[in-house]
Amino acid sequence: MPDTPAAIESRSLLGEALLKEGILTEEQLQRALRIQDKLEQPRQFGAVLIELGYATKQDIADALGKHGAGIRLGQILLEQGVITQDALEQALIIQRERGIRFGEALLELGAISERVLLQNLARQAGVPYIEPVFTMIEGSVLTGVSPNYLASNKFIPFSRSEEGTVTVVVNDLHDEGCLQAVRDLYQDGFQLALGPLDAISQAIEDFRHFRQEGPGERRRIEEGEDSVVQLVDHIIGNAIEQRASDIHIEPMSNVVRLRYRIDGVLVYRTDLPKDLLPRLTSRIKILAECNITEHQRHQGGRIFYTHQGREYDLRLSVYVTVHGECVVLRILNKQTGLVDLEELGMNKTMLDRFRLEVLDMPTGVVLITGPTGSGKTTTLYSSLNYCNSIDTKIITAEDPVEYMIDGLIQCSIYEKIGRSFQATLREIVRQDPDIIVLGEIRDRTSAETAIQAALTGHKVYSTFHTEDTIGGLLRLIDMDIETFLISSTVISVLAQRLLRRICEFCQAPYTPDPVELDRLGLRVEEVRDFEFRKGRGCKHCNYTGYHGRAGVYELLVLNEDVKEAILQKRPAHVIRQISTETTGLISMREDGIAKVVRGFTTFEEVLRQTPRTFEMRPLRQVLAATQ
């Protein structure tokens, strides 16, 4: 790659910054530099590091934010893969011709969104990036301020530190008119934060409305009252509305970062001023009945929280870090409810087979496998709901019961009072069930119980933590279960993952990158006739381009050939090959690719979530098999 002096400088600066942060070792740095030099297609150094798995996008953004003051904005954006070299050059031309700022030129080109630009400008300037919402704003900072004054000067005060410094959100750190208006109001007692103009304007409008109409439902607390209570309410309520599973409040060196985990992926929401941290954590600790004077030890707790008439169970973890206390709240009982088999996202061919050859079979062991958060439990409950009828007795031993289904006999394991897994398993067969459900096979005892029950004519369902279907069979062998017992009882293993669905609101056609296709074992000619879509990011999807998730599956129904291979303890790749050739096994990756072609998800999601398949069928064949 013909490096410009600026590119060389930036890659050494980025390398240095990552070394300082302890993210990269010297050896990795040298290796990445060598690889970058050898690439036929030029790639940014940051992209190379991400590809090699040495650093994440976030690592690079954080390191550049902290150590990258000397790097130009364009280079920072380039390193993160936010803009292309082409866009950088075009923007430089526009900048020169029109005499506008570089960021404005990028916006004009449509090469970047305002949010991403502001986040990077904020990092570069070392100030928080805040998306103000009226209900987050501390009441006291709005007392005596006129909405008109704020609207005409385009800023909004956000919070006040204990020393009295007011954090003010502006849209432009160089807008002299705006800065003068802020100085007139607070003299020297303020610090700046950057935020998007539409959010600032909306917050001012809501403030105006509040002034005229009085407190609405969204803002229950009057101006001037302790508004950290309200801020915490806003954070939790907003997370629930966004379908988040976890809330992360993370102190950095000069800001507090707020992120939610949505559809299994961390989504950055906003920064908050660092000086709010002690009050934020105190409020959350009070809700969880933790010790608010303790700041040196990690703590845990539980909050019962009501939002819009619904009860939520939140688990709190407070972790003491070098920058202060880091808070994670896990939101339980999200009330997702029961999903019909048809809604799991299995293709019709697989669903028919799953019903006929797995669910309708009267005996045998069925295993549903995948990592935590892969949707196993949802599939298990959908299957049980399908089998649930007046002439079938279904009994469960779960740790704990996650959904309650009418008609099932469900039991939660409770070790503390002696209702242990083992005690429950001993008793369960004496209840004369047709179907036994073991929440999870975790050791040899539970595996043996499942197999024994199947041998005595029961149907057994359980979940397992393995990578794929073949991995499930091998795990049983590793647990020292006799292979003839496995091959005579296990009828099916279903492996799964959840892939994020493309956001309907912002999807647009795009052409897949040949490198991406190659990594999935696809050829450009194979995909030429298909149209691909991708979410551009909008407010409905938190600017991620994705909304909701759907499953991809690998369904193995054991036949005589596979059973024979297990009996002979053949290696994993041989069992997989036999399964593929004789049972028509479709891998999760193949199922995922079919879902990309059909417009549900993206290649990136398939790469990120599904295990690598060594042999890929030709695309046409995959599509024919997954109809």
DSSP string spanning 333-393? --------GGGG---HHHHHHIIIIIIT-SSEEEEEE-STTSSHHHHHHHHHHHH--TT--
- Of these, 506, 555, 578, 594, which contacts Zn ion (CB under 5 A)? 506
Among 160-168, 232-240, 524-532, 538-546, the segment contacting Zn ion (CB under 5 A):
538-546
Rg (CA), the chain: 28
Spell out a b/e string for 58-75, using b for 16 or more CB atoms within 10 Å of the CB, else e.
ebbbbbbbbbbeebebbb
Q: Shortest distance, CB of residue 262 to Zn ion, whole angstroms?
A: 12
Q: Shortest distance, CB of residue 542 to Zn ion, whole angstroms?
A: 8
- Indicate whether 151 belongs to the interface with Zn ion (CB under 5 A): no
- Indicate whether 573 belongs to the interface with Zn ion (CB under 5 A): no
- Of these, 92, 133, 252, 538, which contacts Zn ion (CB under 5 A)? 538
Q: How many residues bind Zn ion (CB under 5 A)?
A: 7
Q: Shortest distance, CB of residue 500 to Zn ion, whole angstroms?
A: 11
Q: 10 Å Cβ neighbour count for 22?
A: 7
CA–CA distance, 355 with 334 (Å, rounded to integer):
28
Among 19-27, 395-403, 405-413, 506-514, the segment contacting Zn ion (CB under 5 A):
506-514
Tokens found for residue 75:
């280079």
**Sheet with 459-464, side-by-side order of all strands:** 394-397, 435-438, 459-464, 364-369, 490-502, 546-557
Residue whose C-alpha is closest to residue 522's, from 474, 465, 429, 589 = 589
Residue whose C-alpha is closest to residue 76's, from 31, 40, 46, 36 = 46
**Torsion angle (degrees, nearest 10) of CA 552, 558, 563, 565:** -40
Residue closer to Zn ion by CB (options 310, 540) is 540
Among 125-133, 266-274, 467-475, 505-513, the segment contacting Zn ion (CB under 5 A):
505-513
CA–CA distance, 599 with 582 (Å, rounded to integer):
29
Q: Shortest distance, CB of residue 201 to Zn ion, whole angstroms?
A: 21
- Indicate whether 113 belongs to the interface with Zn ion (CB under 5 A): no
Among 49-57, 154-162, 500-508, 573-581, the segment contacting Zn ion (CB under 5 A):
500-508
- Indicate whether 508 belongs to the interface with Zn ion (CB under 5 A): no
Q: Which amino acid is at 192?
A: L
Compose the 459-498 pattern: x for residues touching Zn ion by CB under 5 A, - for all others: ----------------------------------------
Spell out a b/e string for 107-120, using b for 16 or more CB atoms within 10 Å of the CB, else e.
bebebbbebbbbbb
Q: Shortest distance, CB of residue 509 to Zn ion, whole angstroms?
A: 15
- Of these, 265, 505, 516, 567, which contacts Zn ion (CB under 5 A)? 505
Q: For residue 191, what are the β-bridge partners?
A: 167
- Of these, 348, 444, 540, 569, which contacts Zn ion (CB under 5 A)? 540
Hey, CA dihedral for 572, 575, 581, 585, is it positive or negative? Answer: negative
Among 70-78, 223-231, 499-507, 608-616, the segment contacting Zn ion (CB under 5 A):
499-507
- Of these, 137, 258, 288, 503, which contacts Zn ion (CB under 5 A)? 503
HEC string of 257-303 equals EEEEEECCEEEEEEEEEHHHHHHHHHHHHHHCCCCCCCCCCCEEEEE
Residue whose C-alpha is closest to residue 490's, from 426, 428, 559 = 559
- Indicate whether 125 belongs to the interface with Zn ion (CB under 5 A): no
Query: Cβ(207)–Cβ(149) under 8 Å?
Result: no
Q: Shortest distance, CB of residue 137 to Zn ion, whole angstroms?
A: 26
Q: Shortest distance, CB of residue 535 to Zn ion, whole angstroms?
A: 5
- Indicate whether 504 belongs to the interface with Zn ion (CB under 5 A): no
Q: Shortest distance, CB of residue 504 to Zn ion, whole angstroms?
A: 8
Q: Shortest distance, CB of residue 71 to Zn ion, whole angstroms?
A: 31
Residue closer to Zn ion by CB (options 147, 545) is 545
Q: Shortest distance, CB of residue 238 to Zn ion, whole angstroms?
A: 17
Q: What separation in angstroms does the CA of 105 have from each of 81, 109, 114, 458?
A: 18, 6, 11, 69
Residue nearest to Zn ion (CB): 503
- Indicate whether 98 belongs to the interface with Zn ion (CB under 5 A): no
- Indicate whether 541 belongs to the interface with Zn ion (CB under 5 A): yes
Residue closer to Zn ion by CB (options 132, 535) is 535
- Indicate whether 265 belongs to the interface with Zn ion (CB under 5 A): no
Residue closer to Zn ion by CB (options 458, 547) is 547
Tokens found for residue 340:
């019909």
Q: Shortest distance, CB of residue 139 to Zn ion, whole angstroms?
A: 33
Residues at the contact surface with Zn ion, assessed by CB under 5 A = 503, 505-506, 535, 538, 540-541
